[in-house]
Structure 1
């Protein structure tokens, strides 16, 4: 079968998944029309309403992997609050990505609801030892309470001037986070995280910001995959600000950097944090656009390599690269640090990002001229992919 035929089959499979997950796809625009029965203007109107988060919350909840963390009645009562709108976005992102991966793998996610006595809870969806995925996790958390002194220090170190009352800082934090570790070394690991943070200060005023990003960690370089991944993210960024992609791509390369190794974790993507301008509505819409890319930027790559053969040596190299992934997450990742510093955090969910298996070889260095050496060269010298 040609690459073109495989790509078309992958595209049709992905569209099927999008529709099954309740996501609107403008198929007519992608394949030249004739598929959609909606006139273009009417379709644009319907998409606009969905992207704005309009629609009955109870109906939207029917497509989710689990009822939301917050009681549906509470969400309905405060449907216009940013916390409600963001919770629905992260729940829908979890559902669409899980259903897409189930379509590929044939397995099912274990849905694990958990609560936190200090306030809130989460929903962890994990598929382990699947046909194609060794470990796939997609977590949602919606937590509230008071920042600890250690967590508040982390915020202040990032330039946040926070004034608590009697040493207390009420906060609300929510996000969706995913890490996928495939069995086949030719299918990359992918990570994404989109989150919202809100803090109430002593005078009753609130500080808020969004953060997140999506990045790819291949074991072997495939230029076509890298271009597809980065182009998909760039398209989402360009709808909001022509500088976003280049700025957030650089931020990603700098953030996912393993300083003690002198190499990046992967080939990047986008990353941003503490984003609170130009205004809340515009940043929220940008985050929604990014969240909608997690399936189309990754699933075509998965389908392309689904049946690639691999050698024991290639599997060993995958294990070594996973070791680097573990090192970054445990030493540098802000989300892991914040989670471990927050009382009542669920350790299983925080460490879900770690692979089932990894390898650390003493003084390991790939042979010059090999595919492994070329991969390492890219990680030591990040490049532009598009």
Structure 2
């Protein structure tokens, strides 16, 4: 298992750097607000309990207002409640968790916020039995002024990467994403979805470790295949102050979801994780407005009336 963990770790570090390079290129190529040489600031940190990480944050770019691309490999002496709730037999077990997680908040309201996460979790039961492992992750898209071609492209990439792993994999993990990124108190989805999966191992899928790892790799590459064309299609579009304010208002939903419902945030805080890394997903600016309702027929109305309702996007 240790050799497997090291192979996954090397892939994750390479994936993190590839994503950093791709996002910095978007800055250099520029958008409607111009170009910049903004770079990710790299922060290598150690964890007292064991392990550490490599955090990369870009702030104040002309194309990307804030982005965090975070690698971590941490050791956990006692699993927190957010993990053992679904795996009660692992209560009190030691564990390792390693993964790459990212959130990108573009400056232009026409470019969606995007999120991706790929991770491996390995727990060692206290009774001395064999280690239990599983993969999780996915990616999702949160637009403010969406267009159908971008949404279809995003889901087409998701569908194609899932296809080698089974005809039903895309539909299963798409539905899980729609259900997971949902705000019950608002009665709406956070965005237009993508893929979400957890507890992927031999017991749940019939795949061996190598195939589960291959799926992680496909999802990691799929994020870039999905998001880069969307950046290039939309970052040169002009926008006005009203659209900017709507973007900030909708970012408030992102904050609400991450702080109230997201399992990754809860796990990080409960496992005594690095707070700066856990909360790097927060946008640099967000806004709330009392009882705001967009006018019928406007693009702002269309977002919640059409796009934030789960659909078979590839059939439209």
Structure 1 length normalisation: TM-score? 0.76
**1:163 & 1:183 partners in 2: Cα distance?**
43
**2:23 & 2:82 partners in 1: Cα distance?**
34
C-alpha distance after superposition, 1:176-225 (max 9, x if no partner): 00000000000011100000000011223111100000100000121110
**1:270 & 1:226 partners in 2: Cα distance?**
13
Is residue 263–residue 379 contact of structure 1 (8 Å, CA) maintained in 2?
A: no
Q: Which residue of 2 aligns with 1:302?
A: 231
Out of 319, 322, 340, the residue aligned to residue 251 of structure 2 is 322
CA offset at residue 381 of structure 1? 2.3
Out of 192, 198, 202, the residue aligned to residue 267 of structure 1 is 192
**1:331 & 1:378 partners in 2: Cα distance?**
25
1:242 aligns with 2:164: no
- Following TM superposition, the consecutive aligned residue runs of length 4 or more in structure 1 with deviations greater than 2 angstroms are 153-157, 161-164, 378-381
Secondary structure of the structure 1 residue equivalent to 2:283: coil
1:341 aligns with 2:270: yes
Out of 1, 5, 9, the residue aligned to residue 87 of structure 1 is 9
1:155 aligns with 2:155: no
CA offset at residue 155 of structure 1? 2.5
Out of 162, 172, 193, the residue aligned to residue 117 of structure 2 is 193
CA offset at residue 379 of structure 1? 5.0
CA offset at residue 163 of structure 1? 4.7
Secondary structure of the structure 2 residue equivalent to 1:162: helix
C-alpha distance after superposition, 1:80-100 (max 9, x if no partner): 722111111211111111100
Q: Which residue of 2 aligns with 1:174?
A: 98
Q: Which residue of 2 aligns with 1:52?
A: none
Structure 2 length normalisation: TM-score? 0.92
**2:26 & 2:64 partners in 1: Cα distance?**
9
Out of 191, 215, 226, the residue aligned to residue 140 of structure 2 is 215
Is residue 97–residue 294 contact of structure 1 (8 Å, CA) maintained in 2?
A: no
CA offset at residue 172 of structure 1? 0.5
- List alignment gaps of at least 5 residues for structure 2: 29-37
Give the total of aligned pairs: 300
Q: CA RMSD in A?
A: 1.3
**1:163 & 1:235 partners in 2: Cα distance?**
35
Q: Which has the larger radius of gyration?
A: 1
**2:309 & 2:129 partners in 1: Cα distance?**
47
Q: Which residue of 2 aligns with 1:134?
A: 65
- List alignment gaps of at least 5 residues for structure 1: 1-77
- Pairing 1:1-386 to 2, within 5 Å after superposition: 81-106=3-28, 107-148=38-79, 151=80, 153-158=81-86, 160-163=87-90, 168-201=92-125, 202-277=127-202, 278=206, 279-343=208-272, 345-378=273-306, 380-386=308-314
Q: Which residue of 1 aligns with 2:35?
A: none
Q: Which has the higher contact order (CA 8 A, sep 6+)?
A: 2
Secondary structure of the structure 2 residue equivalent to 1:239: helix
**2:245 & 2:61 partners in 1: Cα distance?**
19
**1:163 & 1:111 partners in 2: Cα distance?**
34
Is residue 262–residue 380 contact of structure 1 (8 Å, CA) maintained in 2?
A: no
**2:198 & 2:185 partners in 1: Cα distance?**
23
Secondary structure of the structure 1 residue equivalent to 2:297: coil
Secondary structure of the structure 2 residue equivalent to 1:127: strand
**1:95 & 1:88 partners in 2: Cα distance?**
11
